[in-house]
Structures are given as structure tokens and as C-alpha cells.
Amino acid sequence: MDIQTDINSGLMTITINRPERKNSFTNAMYTALADAFRDATHSSGVKVVLLKGHEGCFSAGNDLGDFLNNPPTSLDAPVFRFLRMIAMFPKPVVAQVQGLAIGIGTTVLLHCDLVYAASTSKFSMPFVKLGLCPEAASSLLLPISAGYQKAAELLLLGDLFTALKAYDTGIVSDVLEPEQLEAHVQAQVKKLLDLPLASLVTTKRLMKSVNKSAISEKMAEEGHLFMAMIPQAPAQEAFKAFGEKRAPNFKQFEA
């Protein structure tokens, strides 16, 4: 299973389990993730969700082959359904990040409540480099957490950045040495599990309610623009260049 779920003593652990492709996401995986969060929402046996990747990698983002064969064509597409589900999830979500967190592998963290990353992790939101635009309401949430200039550097340039920079921009809660990461995450999860669910849910709702409608609106706006940009020449050039292992030539589209 590319998405593994396990429930034990109030904790649902969701593991992205596709290490041979650096845990890159397919439509089927987005559907499984959305279903897992839907089930966790309504399950009295789930108090906290832990999201992590398998074998030292969080996620390299979209599987480009699956993405090109099955691009999103409506806001009901699996990727957008998953993003709405995690954005509105009422219970605490903890993320454990190692290795690569690329594209949606980074933006999804903006919807988690506690995010702990290994010091060796690398992040990137290369949407502009792909001729696309941000998703997951990252164009709203990242400027709020990081400040406009820091967010602009990450979203406009799309370069790789370190776990310390992710901490500095509010994407992650703390940075740990790789050998300390799992124990620290489990300790934080245990703290949450020992607390009353009603208080956790109420506190999260109070914090999230400030931007709830704005997040929904921004996700929809980004989604429509993202879908419209996929068939356009810059994105197609970026995808072709990726397959040919070369730098894309965007200057050819300038007037």
C-alpha cells in the first residue's frame, strides 16, 4: 500500500509508503489520504493524526508521470479533495519530516499543527519553475507565517531550502537531529494524547477560524489558476525539460 494507516491508542499514523519513487504522490494516493482524514474526522478512536514518510523521505511532491496522465480538471480532483480535508481537519495533526519535502510535500505542512523536521531535510516549492502557481492556500498562509519578503523568496524562486530556513519561516515547529526526530515526535504525540480532546479541538478551531473562509477561497482561486496553467506553453516546456533532464527555456515565450 502506498498510503499506510494504523490506529493505536488514539493515534492514527499515516505513512507515505512509496520509497522507490521518493514518496511522490499519485491520484490514488491523494484519494487514500483524503479518505483517511475523512475517517479520522468521524472516528471516536482517533484523537491525533501523525503524518510521515517512509525510509527517510517525506515526499518529493507529485509523481510527474501520473500527474501528466491524470491532471486535475476540477476542484473535485483527488489532490484538491485531500487538501480541503486536511485544511479543515478538526483534530491535531503532527508531521514528521525527513529527507525531501517538495511542492505539496512542503505546502501540506502549512495545514499541520505541529511539524518536526530532521536537520538534514530539504524543502522546496518549485511551482513557478514548473510554469505553474502555488496551491494548498500557500500563497495566503506562507506570507502570514513568514512575512511577505521571505515568502516571496521561497515561492517566486522555488529553490531548495534547509530545515532551519523552514523553521525561520514558520513552516516547521522545531528542527531535530535525525537520530532524535522519532523519539521527539512520539513524546509530543503522547502529550497530545494525554490531553482532553474537546479542549484540543476547541483550541484548534479558535486559532483556525480566523482564516478559515480565506483559506477555502484561496484554495479555490489557486486551484482554478493551477489547472488553467497546466496546458499552457511554459508548463509544457517545464514538463518536457524535466523528462529530458535539462533546464527549461522560458525565454522563447517572451514577446
* CA atoms within 13 Å, Cβ hemisphere of 7: 11
- How many angstroms separate the CA atoms of 180 and 23, rounded? 22
CB 118, CB 178: distance < 8 Å? yes
Give the model's pLDDT for residue 196.
98
**Long-range interactions of 150-157: CB distance < 8 A, separation 24+:** 154/125, 155/125, 155/127, 155/128, 156/128, 157/128
pTM, entire model: 0.97
Give the model's pLDDT for residue 254.
86
Q: Looking at the 3D structure of the chain, how many domains does it have?
A: 1
CB 180, CB 120: distance < 8 Å? no
Q: Is the dihedral of CA 212, 80, 46, 55 positive or negative?
A: negative
In a domain, 213, yes or no: yes
Q: What is the CATH number of the domain that holds 141?
A: 3.90.226.10
- Domain housing 104: 1-178+197-255
R_g of the chain computed on alpha carbons: 18
Sites in the chain below the pLDDT cut of 50:
none
